Structure 1
């Protein structure tokens, strides 16, 4: 075909139901190359340009940036990556909108006296909410001698993620959790657990490896709504503490451990787990166990066993 038999920029714009400015925009960016130039130096396009222009408009309707569209036109396999990336972005945006909606409901439905405090709490939490203060809180609490893989696993289990579709009460729980862990004076003696003062022979790796297994077993008991009672999970819990100190499990050790757990209980950590439990409680159904609720169940099971032994 000679240049004069091809479409002008106006013809192509009319065929695609777009403006000449749109065709020129994509042409100038190399997405819609011209087939030739007329004798007067005007752009000319072949029929294939119409298909490409329609494809460009479809991709742009998905809010894909022009640079991404260019890569897709060059490589067909780039479309799958672009779709996956756009879905991730939209998921993040929708989660942020749902969070803001729940926060607005929280403010609308509270009393005038509560509003200033809730505004302060919510305003300190970004969108999407960040769990960085929560992770930093646990990095401080955990002993320095823990290997990275164990430390990472504990932090992952201890830090609840903000729900994708939160209720107003969950927004409030997370905001309070965020404030609790942001305001704590890390680096002081505040909320330092017992193991930081332990002797050199104390083996925190043994303790936390064993506690992980015990908490997993106790979580199964919690999901089954079993009352705290002796069994495999309690034996594993006690064994972890005994082995960490190079001791043996015995009735006497269990008595000592019960007292130690009372002495080392920290109100700040207890408050953390209370809020984490509120955050992980679905609108309907039982709460998902946390490390804190598993720990409390095991403590209660130990106390129940000791009380039973005392009555025997």
Structure 2
């Protein structure tokens, strides 16, 4: 160190174990202020610059962008809290990047491991997805399907039950299932789905919120039956299912109503492919609302189902 207690740029670089170019780079970007200039116009740095330079290097090893490094240095007095926030944000970013890499890897396996004749079709399906993929098309699909003016909380619960999140570490089959689900929900009028939406809007007796609230409870009960491996039958799940429709139509659950309901539901268009693909993403441990609906419809058709007419 010179008699004035200052270092040249070369001396600072040597003490820090970095190149002069590195010191100049951080100085030019305002991260490493100079303490002054020599009579010859050369940069001079005080001893505190060494600790600051080491801190900058440490932050950069976390792959933090330079603007974030600058903000952290400006908050040096509260560095611990600021660093915690920066690390948490960086971990989120890395999680997204890792998820994208896993999706790309699984997508490549899905393309590599199929028959040559299928490869072009698979490429078109998978290529339509963002990486990692978005659930926005499925959410738009459900907003078109659901009756208007449902309470926001109810819509949120329906979305949670019906829209599969992309797996963080997908298999090639799951990538393909998600790609097919994306294609299904972005197609024009897939599988009569919009027709079914109109039937729900006009067929809920003017009380669609009552219908959907009751169906959610019935599907939960039916899912428990499915997980237990029970065949469709009478019981609480079926009673809840029929009650939802009866309440929506302002009538009672009677054998006659059940017969009419069974016929009405049997004639409805179905979005079976949606639930099949969702089931491939969720796996057998989580029955889909579509599987629960199938179980309940079958239970409704079991002979002598339902309470005695009053």
Show the 5 A alignment for 1:28-107.
Answer: 28-75=28-75, 76=79, 77-107=81-111
Shift of 1:308: 9.9
Q: Is the 8 A contact 1:193 1:264 kept in 2?
A: no
Shift of 1:42: 2.5
Q: Is the 8 A contact 1:277 1:290 kept in 2?
A: yes
TM-score (norm 1): 0.90
Is 1:194 aligned with 2:199? yes
Alignment partner, residue 16 of structure 1? 16
Between 167-176 and 43-52, report the one with greater CA deviation.
Answer: 43-52
Residue 44 of structure 2 aligns to a residue in which SS? strand
Q: Is the 8 A contact 2:196 2:269 kept in 1?
A: no
Q: Is the 8 A contact 1:125 1:175 kept in 2?
A: yes
CA RMSD of aligned residues (A): 2.3
- Deviation string 1:53-82 (CA, Å, 9 cap, x unpaired) is 111111111111111001111221221111
Alignment partner, residue 264 of structure 1? 268
In structure 1, how many angstroms separate the alpha carbons of the residues matched to 2:118 and 2:197? Answer: 32
Is 1:297 aligned with 2:295? yes
Alignment partner, residue 174 of structure 1? 178
In structure 1, how many angstroms separate the alpha carbons of the residues matched to 2:257 and 2:129? Answer: 44
Shift of 1:184: 2.4
Is 1:240 aligned with 2:244? yes
In structure 2, how many angstroms separate the alpha carbons of the residues matched to 1:2 and 1:114? Answer: 73
- Deviation string 1:95-131 (CA, Å, 9 cap, x unpaired) is 1111111111111110011111111111111212122
Shift of 1:305: 5.3
Residue 192 of structure 1 aligns to a residue in which SS? helix
Structure 2: 5+ residue runs without aligned partners? none
In structure 2, how many angstroms separate the alpha carbons of the residues matched to 1:247 and 1:307? Answer: 18
Show the 5 A alignment for 1:212-223.
Answer: 212-223=216-227
Is 1:251 aligned with 2:251? no
In structure 1, how many angstroms separate the alpha carbons of the residues matched to 2:193 and 2:223? Answer: 32
